[in-house]
Structure 1
């Protein structure tokens, strides 16, 4: 009897199309980033020298740093949306990325000299930068969690951390179009602080936001 019931329930099941989770997560993530960008422009505005900044190396360093952070977070979120997922490789990637930019920041401080050290490390927005990143990450995190809930995450805090890591990285990429700071130490310390703050908050919220209903 039980076998007949199981066969009956399984008869109408259709296989899930390949890459459904990737497409769903990507689609919601793009929506979240778009909302974050609109929020940033309305709230903070684009940097006034954006067209000039695009021609500088530092603009593209920030672009690459934040984009790689977001990509690593996206891969981690995708992995942890499934049962038994891991983000070990992405964690190694994050540590490597921060170590490389940190080393570049040390070189920049040595070249510029001690007189410029405070500016390179703190700039003019050190206390505001992480707050802006966390605030701009909210719509991206919400969209990512919405997509992940349709999958089957089992380690909810870690999945929430991964979603927050992606949201923080993507929000920092958006924020970089406003930020005029150009010190590598500033970027390494304060951008990373904002991203990790978003990830930690994501882990806390993920404990209940990613629960299966």
Structure 2
């Protein structure tokens, strides 16, 4: 049996795979992890008792819009890196757009108050714990993504780990909005982004170790 015959024999009984199989697998992992994150928020932090009021203010939707946009971009990147032919990720520059927009909103908000209030807007009441909480809340989602990757075939493990961490951090930050009382755009830009960055860094470090196949 020559090489071509061997390949043909091995491939003869392989069932076709849906083109959306990778995406569904990743969404399932994110959903499983998100359940854990929501439970953590409910049992550890508690949901914002004024959430219904907060959702009527534009600042809540600014937070959600920022974290959701990062999360969606991260999921797309992770889906690509879950395949052996991961292709280019140069398009990820689009993630700079929500960062730039939130920066503009933050500058606008600060321009409307006296400079003496800028530090309070930047630090809020929870700056010392916000980033670490976002990172902790990302762990269940990252665990769900690791479960997803057990059935996938990434080849760029560090990049895949980084985008998985970015995905986990962004969606954890999105769910954290259900608790967080902060309203300043500059607060979100600084401390939410730091928490998401920590999750991304952890994913980059752990990816080569945990995503081997």
Q: Normalised by the shorter chain, which TM-score bucket? A: over 0.9
TM-superposed deviation, 1:4:
4.3
Distance 2:14 2:129 in 1: 51
Structure 1 unmatched runs, 5+: none
- Give the 3-state SS of the residue equivalent to 1:107 in structure 2: helix
How many residues align structurally?
211
Structure 2 unmatched runs, 5+: none
RMSD of the alignment, in Å? 1.3
Distance 1:171 1:87 in 2: 23
- Where does 1:106-185 land on structure 2 (aligned, <5 Å)? 106-185=107-186
What residue number does 2:82 align with?
81
Distance 1:169 1:183 in 2: 18
TM-superposed deviation, 1:192:
0.6
Distance 2:118 2:182 in 1: 13
- Give the 3-state SS of the residue equivalent to 2:15 in structure 1: coil
TM-superposed deviation, 1:108:
1.0
2:195 maps to 1:194:
yes
Distance 1:7 1:103 in 2: 57
Distance 1:94 1:195 in 2: 13
What residue number does 1:38 align with?
39
- Where does 1:33-72 land on structure 2 (aligned, <5 Å)? 33-72=34-73
- Give the 3-state SS of the residue equivalent to 2:48 in structure 1: coil
Q: Deviations over 1:130-176 (max 9, x none)?
A: 10000000010111122123222111111100000000000000111
- Give the 3-state SS of the residue equivalent to 2:127 in structure 1: coil
Deviation larger for 81-90 or 45-54:
81-90
TM-score, length basis structure 1? 0.94
Distance 1:52 1:177 in 2: 12
TM-superposed deviation, 1:122:
0.6
TM-score, length basis structure 2? 0.94
Distance 1:84 1:13 in 2: 19
What residue number does 2:27 align with?
26
Q: Deviations over 1:28-53 (max 9, x none)?
A: 11111111111111100001211111
Distance 2:141 2:157 in 1: 18
